[in-house]
């Protein structure tokens, strides 16, 4: 029996598939074309659902490790009462290491905050190839340090801060968890890794998955080579860049990991969950059948999307 889309997901994806049927995918290395197409799609899907009116956001600027300034955006529910410090999450957006900015994810971040009650600090980390490794992970780490340093004024309990990201952002969240452990830096209560991009060696197409993918192996090669240059796929790649390269996961924060069965990140995410578990790291893992990468942003009315969003909200709310 072969793979197939979840029927509700297939129905939601059909108009996009029809529109792109005659389009020629950009070649490996064409970052500009991917930005033009995918940022437009992300912006469209983010505004396709209502943005909650019970969430407010405040902008901040952060000077990162090399003196550059990046934007942060603090999202919190308007009804958050002063009192005992509560949890928070540092959010890293998706985009294959090469595209996106926090403004494109404003609606989805607000929906997470509204549903979970957990405030989120979104990080406008710098993108490759203009800013290759270590810029993205160092920007994210600097934001984690910033949130710890400003915890009192923001009403945050430093012991209840998570890192949270999807796709490339999930990979960066995993990398920040490793970096914080190795530097004996700020505590991370949980790493919430949504279909994370973890392994720069995942460059060979799987014929069983190829008909279903929304993020292809050509896209993946483009992202990793933008981040790592000629080192991508080779022997000399640190775990702070590609978390699947970690030699010893012991001591990492508890992890929530999810991925679709029709996602090219399936095997690397399964393997990462298993390796963390074997090292004594508590792991909650979900493999969702019949769904590809980032499906829930398009098929948001599907039962499968409701399940994954419910699980993410629960993970945020449990901090």
Point out the residues that are catalytic: 167, 263, 293
| Cα angle, residue 232 at apex, residues 226 and 235 outer, rounded to 5° | 155
Radius of gyration of the chain (CA): 18
Determine the Cα angle at 290 with ends 284 and 294, to 5°. Answer: 70
For residues 139 and 64, what is the distance between their CA atoms, to the nearest angstrom?
6
Tell me if the bond preceding 315 is cis, omega within 30° of 0. Answer: no
Pair of tokens at residue 211: 């008909």
Strand ranges of the sheet holding 156-166, from the earlier edge strand across to the other edge: 55-63, 69-77, 120-123, 86-92, 156-166, 190-194, 255-260, 283-288
State residue 119 phi and psi, 5-degree precision: -65, 155
């Amino acid at each position: 029996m072969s793979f197939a889309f979840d029927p509700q997901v297939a129905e939601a994806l059909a108009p996009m598939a029809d529109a792109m049927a005659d389009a020629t995918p950009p070649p490996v290395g064409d970052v500009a074309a991917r930005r033009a197409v995918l940022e437009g799609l992300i912006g469209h899907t983010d505004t396709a659902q209502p943005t909650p009116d019970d969430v407010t956001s405040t902008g901040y600027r952060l000077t990162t490790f090399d003196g550059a300034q990046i934007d942060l955006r603090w999202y919190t529910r308007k009804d958050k009462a002063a009192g005992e410090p509560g949890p928070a999450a540092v959010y890293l957006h998706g985009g294959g290491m090469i595209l996106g900015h926090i403004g494109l994810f404003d609606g989805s971040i607000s929906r997470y905050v509204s549903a979970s009650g957990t405030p989120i600090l979104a990080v406008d980390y710098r993108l490759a190839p203009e800013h290759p490794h270590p810029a993205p992970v160092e920007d994210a780490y600097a934001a984690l340090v910033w949130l710890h340093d400003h915890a009192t004024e923001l009403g945050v309990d430093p012991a209840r801060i998570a890192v949270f990201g999807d796709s490339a952002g999930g990979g960066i969240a995993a990398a920040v968890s490793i970096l914080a452990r190795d530097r004996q830096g700020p505590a991370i209560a949980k790493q919430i890794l949504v279909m994370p991009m973890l392994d720069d060696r995942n460059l060979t197409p799987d014929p069983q998955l190829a008909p279903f993918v929304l993020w292809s192996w050509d896209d993946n090669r483009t992202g990793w080579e933008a981040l790592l240059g000629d080192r991508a796929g080779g022997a000399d790649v640190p775990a702070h860049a590609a978390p699947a390269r970690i030699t010893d996961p012991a001591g990492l924060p508890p992890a929530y990991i999810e991925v679709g069965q029709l996602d090219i990140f399936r095997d690397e995410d399964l393997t990462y969950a298993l390796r963390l578990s074997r090292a004594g790291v508590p792991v909650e893992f979900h493999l969702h059948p019949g769904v590809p990468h980032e499906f829930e942003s398009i098929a948001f009315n599907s039962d499968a999307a409701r399940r994954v969003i419910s699980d993410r909200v629960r993970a945020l709310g449990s901090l």
